[in-house]
Every structure is written in C-alpha cells, then in structure tokens.
Amino acid sequence: MTSFRIINEHVRANALRAVQGANLGDVVTIKEPKRSDVQNAKMWCMLNDLARAKPEGRQWAPETWKAALMHFLGHQVMFCEGLAGTGPFPMGFRTSHLKVGEMADLITCIYQYGDEHGVVWSETERGGFMDLEARTK
C-alpha cells in the first residue's frame, strides 16, 4: 500500500503519478489527518484541570468531562446502565477518530467553558499546540 502526506507540490506530483499508474479497480482514498498526539496530550491536561476545578460543583472524572464536551459539540455519545445499579456511564466517544480541525474545536470548547467558570489552566502555551507539534517533529 502506498500513502502520501501532501506537504508540498513535489509530494503532490508523486501522488498524482501513483494514481495515474494505478490499476483499474484499485482504491484511492484522500482524507484529512486525525488528531495529533500533541493535541491529545493537551486535551487530557485541560480535562484534568476541569476535573480539579469542579466548575458548577461538578465532581466529574476527566473521562466524563470529555464525554460531556463531545456531546456538547454534537458528537454521538451513548450512556449505558452500569453494573449492579451503579448508574449510567458514557461510551461511544473516541477522540482518536477526530480530525485535526475537530480536535482544535474541542480544545477551543474546553477553553471557553473553563474560562467562563474560572478554571486555572496548568499548561502554558495557550493555543500553541499546533506550533508545539511542529517543534517536536
């Protein structure tokens, strides 16, 4: 299998040559990249900050905050009944399936909610996760 990350015109030309040389019946897929590890790490830091701050008195675990914020943004979230009457628990949300832009939207949403509720953010590069990602490559 051949795949290309289109980062410049040279790579684009290589991808075009590969498509032109493909056999009939071959499959070509073009998709946006999924969220980065740096975005994921940033999100978990922010969710932990929310959990520590307990905005609106909500004593939720970071995983619950993630489910609530994903639901707020319109991503499908399911709640299932727990075992032995322990109450519902969230499932069906996977940030690993989010595209880079969708993850950026989630991080922006977390900032907005946290700022409205006085959360003190522990990370220092506010909004700089894309720049940080570029520096770590």
- Tens-place pLDDT, residues 86-98: 887 767 677 888 9
- Domain 32-135's class? mainly alpha
* Lookup result for tokens 């940080």: 132
Q: Which residues of the chain does CATH 1.10.3790.10 include?
A: 32-135
Model confidence at 109: pLDDT above 70: yes
pLDDT digits (tens, 9 = 90+) for 18-58: 999 999 999 999 888 889 889 999 999 999 999 999 999 99
pLDDT digits (tens, 9 = 90+) for 2-19: 888 888 999 999 999 999
pTM over 0.85: no
Nearest residue to 63 via CA among 37, 111, 95? 95
- Identify the residue with better confidence: 108 or 2: 108
* Lookup result for tokens 């990370």: 123
Burial grade of 21 (CB within 10 A; 0-12, 13-18, 19 or more): exposed
